[in-house]
Homo-oligomer: A and B are copies of this chain.
Amino acid sequence: MRLMEHLDVARLLGTLAVMLGAAKLLGAAALRLGQPAVLGELVAGVLLGSSVLGLVDTHESAIQAMAEIGVVLLLFAIGLETDLRKLVRVGGASALVALVGVALPFALGYLVCRLLALPNLVAIVSGAALTATSVGITARVLTDLGRLQDPESQIILGAAVIDDVIGLVILTVVSELADGQRITPGGVTRITAIAFGFLIATLLLGRFLVPALFRWTEHLKLPGTSIVSAVVLAFGLAWLADRSGSALIIGAFAAGLLLAGTPHVHQVERGISALGHFFVPLFFISVGAAVDVKALNPLDPANHTTLRVGALLIAAAVAGKFAAGFAPWWFRGRKEVIGVGMIPRGEVGLIFAQMGLSGGVLDAGLFGAITMMVLVTTFLAPPLLRVLFKPPTGATTTAGDGCSDILDVN
């Protein structure tokens, strides 16, 4: 029986069943082929999306909402597994990787567009689309491979988070530019201060408040209290982050960091991992489903310009982020791992492209080229990281090995 008649609940449940089933099957297939499970989920999304089977409509708000909850829970779970002291210890390296990883791809993307004789504003929007790393994809791959605690991974994680905040600043600036507004250095400084200030203020205040809050909830003596409290904290801080001018997932990540040190972390991890098994694949399926494979068909001459520009943007995107991995000269670990880990652009690049298209700055061809760049960088990183993290020859690996605690409740 339905609460309200205008929502087709049955269709939604059917769609979710297909999405989750396909994610699991292709995730398992990816593992068999020695790839991270997330690659299979992305492929499942492409197959179910509007350009192939048309079973998943990413514009349907209920599915969209649950996909977003997926990425919020993922970043919360990653925060839970992150030792803040470790993160601070690699903070310098992360900051440098983030800064170079924003500046270099932007400059390369801008140059590519100018060499193709595109207008200044088009070059700025295209360059901006190359800047922000998709922390969701990389964090998930590192989790799939069981490498989240490696120093390289911590640098990537820190850089991706800083990147995301910088991406937010660039997004605000570029959207004002695209609207024809003038921007001032003071305005940019203010946006930047708010974006980073939220994270720092939350961590400082939360250090005192969160453990007290969780001790208090223990008195409620109600089943499910610890998991619900954790979700309330994650969603509440995500909301607060957004309202303060920072990013949703920064709030969720901060919530995870705050709980990471408390005695409740294991209880919370168990519950969140079950929620994650439901919500997280919905996010990756949605990312895959947003891909329009028809626009990438090389046999259609209409796509040739798009493919050529796309190929150049991909080269700029990959080269820029890969080089950024080598920026922290003092770090003695595997810098190529950091570079590859920063490659995926995911949904953030798509937001820039969408904004440019709806603002009239980008035409359909350039929009397609940026989408292609996002697609290729997203699909490139998982297998490359897998190769880089390959166990020495002779050692055998099972699927279970590659999965850290947080996603391992079964």
Contacts and interface: CB of A to CB of B under 8 A. Distances in A.
Interface of A: 1-5, 7, 9-14, 16-17, 20-21, 23-25, 27-28, 31, 37, 58-59, 61-62, 64-69, 72, 132, 164, 167-168, 217, 220-229, 231-232, 235-236, 238-239, 242-243, 247-249, 267, 270-278, 281, 283, 286-287, 290, 347-348, 350-351, 354-355, 398-400, 403, 407-410
Contacts of A21: 228, 232, 236
Contacts of A270: 274, 409
A267 B9 CA distance: 27
Give me the 10 closest cross-chain CB pairs, A-B, nearest first: A224-B277, A10-B242, A274-B274, A14-B239, A62-B65, A17-B235, A28-B220, A13-B235, A221-B399, A17-B236
Contact of A274 (B132, B247, B275): B275
B410 A224 contact: yes
29 contacts: A1-B132, A2-B347, A2-B351, A3-B58, A3-B351, A5-B351, A10-B239, A10-B242, A13-B236, A13-B238, A14-B236, A16-B235, A20-B232, A24-B220, A25-B220, A28-B222, A31-B221, A221-B398, A221-B399, A223-B277, A223-B408, A223-B409, A224-B274, A227-B277, A270-B274, A271-B274, A271-B409, A274-B274, A275-B275
Contacts of A217: 24
B407 A223 contact: yes
A319 to B, nearest CB: 23
A26 B314 CA distance: 53
A410 B276 CA distance: 16
Contacts of A221: 28, 31, 398-400
Contacts of A243: 10
Copies of this protein chain in the complex: 2
B31 A222 contact: yes
A28 B27 CA distance: 40
Contact of A248 (B13, B31, B249, B409): B13
Nearest to A349: B1
B1 A247 contact: yes
A231 B397 CA distance: 29
A225 B62 CA distance: 23
A409 B11 contact: no
B224 A4 contact: no
A208 to B, nearest CB: 20
A65 B27 contact: no
A268 B151 CA distance: 35
Nearest to A29: B220
Given A3-B64, A14-B239, 17 more contacts: A1-B348, A2-B347, A3-B350, A13-B69, A13-B72, A17-B235, A31-B221, A31-B222, A61-B61, A61-B62, A62-B65, A223-B400, A228-B277, A228-B278, A228-B281, A271-B277, A275-B275
Contacts of A12: 65, 68
A68 B2 contact: yes
B16 A267 contact: no
A270 B408 CA distance: 13
B248 A399 contact: no
Contacts of A347: 1-3
A219 to B, nearest CB: 8
A278 B231 contact: yes
Contacts of A67: 3
Contacts of A249: 1
Contacts of A220: 24-25, 28
